[in-house]
Structure 1
Amino acid sequence: MKKQQSSKPNVIVFFTDQQRWDTTGVHGNPLDLTPNFDRVAQEGTHLYHSFTCQPVCAPARACFQTGKYATETGCFRNGIPLPAEEKTLADYFKENGYYTGYIGKWHLAAEEPVSEERQGGYDYWLAANGLEHTSEPYQTRVYNNKQEPVDLPGYRVDALTDAAIRFIEKEDKKAHPFFLFLSFLEPHHQNRTDDYPAPTGYSEKYTSRWTPPDLQALSGTAFQQLGGYYGMVKRLDEALGRLMDVLKSLQIEDNTIVLFTSDHGCHFKTRNKEYKRSCHESSVRIPTAVTGPGFVEGGRKKELVSLIDFAPTLLDAAGIDVPDELSGRSFLPLVTNKDIDWKNEVFIQISESQVGRAVRTQRWKYSVSNLSLHPAEHDKASVYQEEFLYDLEADPYELTNLIELKSHREVKERLRERLLDFIRKVEGETPEIRGAAEVESGQRKVLPEEISY
């Protein structure tokens, strides 16, 4: 007998940390790491071109929670707490009758444990601000609403998943719908050892296996760390499968929206001295799939979607009016094939490694930076210098920088204006962008129809 369900859908965010888009089977990874994600993508909606708007942990999380860019909330780097006056997803869902829960990594406070006023308005809290510092792979410590320590058994992915299952089972018995944000640390590195500790036996299965072309071509840490990283991804996908099984067992899968995504990617120290904080696809492109009411059989969507769009989409899908102050927009009309004018480009703000800005279109990636400013002290610049230009159709792993080629002058001019339009709209300023020195292009040539693609 089919269980009677609320008229409002439950909503779950399954949020990983530092996961590349090409760890998934639907993006060509041959190692069968993500059969559950692949199934969600194939049976639900797959956002094929999905990007973070800030490739570092805390700013990306602030963007997701508030629906605003990092410079709009002030959380442009790690270590800046989310202002208490900023409304979060929890606030919007609570105002519309939802019980809200947060489990896992927060990274939007300045203290550990996180005080009640810094918990983003969530009703239920079982989290740590810096989960990478409070826990080890098999020793997971989080804190409850009262800031009391709670030690969870098992591998960290499983420990948080078990907690989420207990939350779902308990809330399913109540009359109200729930919104759960489940935030993992994996496949982020363990900071104190700078490695990727997979579950016992998992790293060995994937060491010296398939390596993406950018990691093969560039000097970095992938050959040392990729096996553990893949092992973490595999366990995360198994956790997703367990979660989906619970929804099916409780007969609420048809009334529960599940969004799987990540805060940013991982370039394994090939682009700078860290794992992210760059304009490259390895830093900014993320795996995203969503299923449940409104998203079943949505298919593969190749329009460009930003993390800044996730908050308005979830609100829209839950029947909640999207506030005007949110910077992104709902991609639900793309899923329902409504005739809308979707702008196929995303704006990326870069901090901590540099004060940088980038625009990504269907074909091109254009990035500028100000390397004279301290990136931990400045959220924006009045002057930028052109730094990178990539033709993503010819060079999807961004191994050839075209920024100095005369043949691409018109492309740069077009992208410069598109980037400035974003900066004006989001930051309210019009900085100067200085062009790169130009060199002869050899046989390279850009056709007129390719310039604005």
Structure 2
Amino acid sequence: MKTIQIPLLPATLQLGRRNLFAIIATLSFTSSVSSQTTNSSRPNVLIIHVDEWRAQSTGYSGDKDVKTPNLDKLSATSANFVNAVSGIPVCTPFRASLVTGQRPLTNGIFMNDVRLDTNAITIAKVFDENGYQTGYIGKWHLDGKYRLSFTPPGARRQGFEYWKAVNCDHNYNHSVYYDNDDTTRHYWKGYDVFAEAKDAEKYLRNHAHDHNPFFLMLAFGPPHNPYNTAPEAYTKMYDPSKLALRPNVPVNMQNEVRENLVGYYSHMTAIDDMVGEIINTLKQEGVYDNTIILFTSDHGDLMGSHGAYRKQKPWDESIKVPMLFHYSGNNGIKEGNYSAMINSEDIMPTLLGMCNIKVPGTVEGIDFSKYLQGKEKDPKDTVSIITCIQPFGEWARVRGGKEYRGIRTPQYTYVRDLNGPWLLFDDANDPYQMKNLVNNPGYTLLQHHLDSLLAEKLKVANDKFLPGLFYVKKFHYPPLDATGTVGYYE
């Protein structure tokens, strides 16, 4: 595969993302595709969305232990964004940015278990307005603090019509779902990855040849913990004693991490098998070449790196996510590795662009479609903002959590907390981020440049980097518990 290298641009050229506040008054939310256009001339769209799958853990990204043959094969004919990041590396905020194309301080979602504004202009609403059939299967996590409750048809489903989903459930062998408008609590039969994938295949077969194209999101819960809950056939594929660890995993955690990697990788391989089955279904129905496939995750998992687990933190194992765009139809995607930065809010405009649908004025993200089609040599931006607005949950203040703002470029990570510069890594020469260069005299000019760049990016985003509780109050969040977390209920 070819690699498309993107240089770090001077600060004055890095401000390509739209200023929402300058354009919102001229919002135009209209259809740009004629209702007479047939399915054959418009691509279907399938998003396969996983939870807590870090970018480093695929065969195609260089992990020699994890078994992902179907994703590896898909990557060979896809655009692989090797620097894709999760702007706020946690579940609900990523999903909110994906479906709105907005940064968290615009859509107001920067913590888990907060309901997305039902008036939001979402990707499903736009596809629906343009004649697409819309469907959602799996984990939703955009309907507030009641994780296992029924999400009724209408505004709270944000434009999705077909519905086999639940707000949030990580009991993968007895997980809840609701069937369209049926308020009865159902349970997926067996391991939910298999059951959800089968339902997705059924949906694809039922809609592959309709007059109107489909937009389907399939959102798996794994490989999010609990790790060791994948089917035994998959856990038997991995011997913990033979698994290699990243050099930034402390010695005293290595045995525990190897055991957890068995479960983490087992979930991944099970998902990979389902990716293969879904692709086969698309091929059998003759719509593979006319379907845009996006594979991505909402954040990663440190899995022992830097002595920690899970997400929220600004290290690469937490913020970097897999992101493959595949489309071999007309105006198709040019395969290869892309070093440009892409963030969660960029997904919506890019998919709309690939489908020749007008991007709503509410969207802040970048439309990378022409870049993927080879019609633009360089992307509009080479910097992504990474953020923790209010630490909570697994990284609450009592566990060392804190607010931060940072930027990730193709070469550097730079992060400030409320007290000043915190982290600086040369990711090209220190890929495991083991040498913090912040305030190092030899990197004064670089740090100043990155600090200025961060300040400019925050100004464009209208982010004044205030303490988290200011934003909790501003967006009228429900009362937080003693750890500063939105409590959730089943």
TM-score by length of 2: 0.79
| Cα deviation 1:176-207 (Å, max 9, x = unaligned) | 111001101010003xxxx4322213223222
Q: Structure 2: which amino acid aligns with 1:178?
A: F
SS in 2 for 1:289: strand
1:9 alignment partner in structure 2: 43
Instruction: Map Cα deviations across residues 390-439 of structure 1 (whole Å, 9 max, x no partner).
Output: 1112210111111131111111111111111121111353779xxxxxxx
Q: Which of the residues 340, 348, 361 maps onto 1:324?
A: 361
| 1:27 aligned counterpart, secondary structure | coil
Unpaired segments of 5 or more residues in structure 1? 371-383, 433-453
Q: Is the Cα contact below 8 Å between 1:215 and 1:268 reproduced in 2?
A: no
> In 2, are the aligned partners of 1:44 and 1:295 still within 8 Å (CA)?
no
Q: Distance in 1 between matches of 2:336 and 2:193?
A: 28
Q: Counterpart amino acid of 1:8?
A: R
The answer as to 2:157 corresponding to 1:119 is yes
The answer to whether residue 252 in structure 2 is matched with residue 216 in structure 1 is no
Superposed displacement of residue 15, structure 1: 0.3
Equivalent in 249, 259, 262 of residue 294 of structure 2: 259
Instruction: Work out the CA distance in 2 between the residues paired with 1:325 and 1:219.
Output: 48
Whole-angstrom CA distance in 1 between matches of 2:251 and 2:431? 14
Residue correspondence of structure 1 range 141-290 to structure 2 within 5 A = 141-146=176-181, 147-190=183-226, 195-206=227-238, 207-217=240-250, 220=253, 221-271=256-306, 274-290=309-325
Give the aligned partner of residue 451 of structure 1.
none
Q: Which secondary structure does the structure 1 equivalent of 2:241 belong to? A: coil
Could you give the per-residue CA deviations for residues 38-81 of structure 1, whole angstroms, max 9, x where no partner exists? 11111122112211111000011101011101111111101211
Mark the CA change 1:217 to 1:97 in structure 2 (over 3 Å): closer, same or farther.
Answer: same
Q: Aligned partner of 1:196: which letter?
A: N
Describe the superposition over 1:152-188 as per-residue Cα deviations: whole angstroms up to 9, x where unpaired. Answer: 2231111110111111111124211110011010100
Superposition deviation, residue 274 in structure 1: 4.5
Q: Is the 8 A contact 1:266 1:283 kept in 2?
A: yes
Determine if the alignment matches structure 1 residue 306 to structure 2 residue 338.
Answer: no
> Are positions 1:51 and 2:85 aligned together?
yes
| Percent identity over paired residues | 28
Contact 1:58 1:107 in 2 (8 A): yes
Alpha-carbon distance in 1 for matches of 2:463, 2:88: 18
Q: Is the 8 A contact 1:40 1:290 kept in 2?
A: no
SS in 1 for 2:60: helix
Q: Which moved more, 1:245-254 or 1:109-118?
A: 109-118
In 1, Cα distance between equivalents of 2:371 and 2:245: 30
Tell me, in whole angstroms, the C-alpha distance in 1 between the residues paired with 2:465 and 2:231. 49
1:342: Cα distance to partner? Answer: 2.9
Residue 342 (1) aligns with residue 375 (2) = no
Distance 1:219 1:344 in 2: 37
Q: Pick from 443, 455, 458: which aligns with 1:420?
A: 455
Q: Which letter maps to 2:234?
A: Y
Aligned-partner Cα distance in 1 for 2:247–2:307? 13
Equivalent position SS for 2:293 = strand
Distance 2:252 2:43 in 1: 46
Equivalent residue number for residue 410 of structure 1: 445
- Residue 364 of structure 1 is matched in structure 2 by 412
Distance 2:137 2:372 in 1: 28
| Equivalence map 1:439-450=2 (5 Å) | none
**1:391 pairs with 2:439:** no
Change (3 A) 1:32 1:356: closer
Q: Is the 8 A contact 1:98 1:176 kept in 2?
A: yes
In structure 1, how many angstroms separate the alpha carbons of the residues matched to 2:124 and 2:316?
Answer: 30
Give the unaligned 5+ runs of structure 2.
Answer: 1-37, 392-400, 468-490
* Residue 229 to residue 401, structure 1, CA distance change in 2 (3 Å): same
Distance 1:107 1:216 in 2: 30
Instruction: Tell me the SS of whatever aligns to 2:41.
Output: coil
- TM-score, normalised to structure 1, is 0.86
Per the alignment, do residues 231 and 428 of structure 1 end up closer, same or farther by CA in structure 2, a change over 3 Å counting? closer
State the Cα distance separating 1:297 from its structure 2 match: 4.2
Measured in 2, the distance between the counterparts of 1:167 and 1:219 equals 47
Distance 1:208 1:84 in 2: 49
Specify the alignment match of 1:446 in structure 2.
Answer: none
- Number of positions where the alignment pairs a residue of Structure 1 with one of Structure 2: 409
Q: How does 1:72-87 map to 2 (within 5 A)?
A: 72-87=106-121
Deviations 1:100-130 (A, max 9, x none): 0011001111231223331112111111111
SS for the counterpart of 2:163 is strand
**Counterpart amino acid of 1:159?**
A
Asked if the contact 1:42/1:300 (under 8 Å) is kept, the reply is no
Looking at structure 1, the residues matched to 373 and 199 of structure 2 have their Cα atoms a distance apart, in angstroms, of 33
- For 2:405 and 2:350, locate their aligned partners in 1 and report how far apart those are by CA, in whole Å: 24
SS at match of 2:221: coil
Q: Is the 8 A contact 2:300 2:321 kept in 1?
A: yes
Instruction: Using the TM superposition, give the Cα deviation of residue 298 of structure 1 relative to its aligned residue in structure 2, in angstroms.
Output: 2.3
Taking only aligned residues, the RMSD between alpha carbons, in angstroms, comes to 2.0
Q: Given that residues 41 and 300 in structure 1 are in contact (C-alpha distance below 8 angstroms), is that contact kept between their aligned partners in structure 2? A: no
1:131 shift after superposition: 2.0
Change (3 A) 1:87 1:219: farther
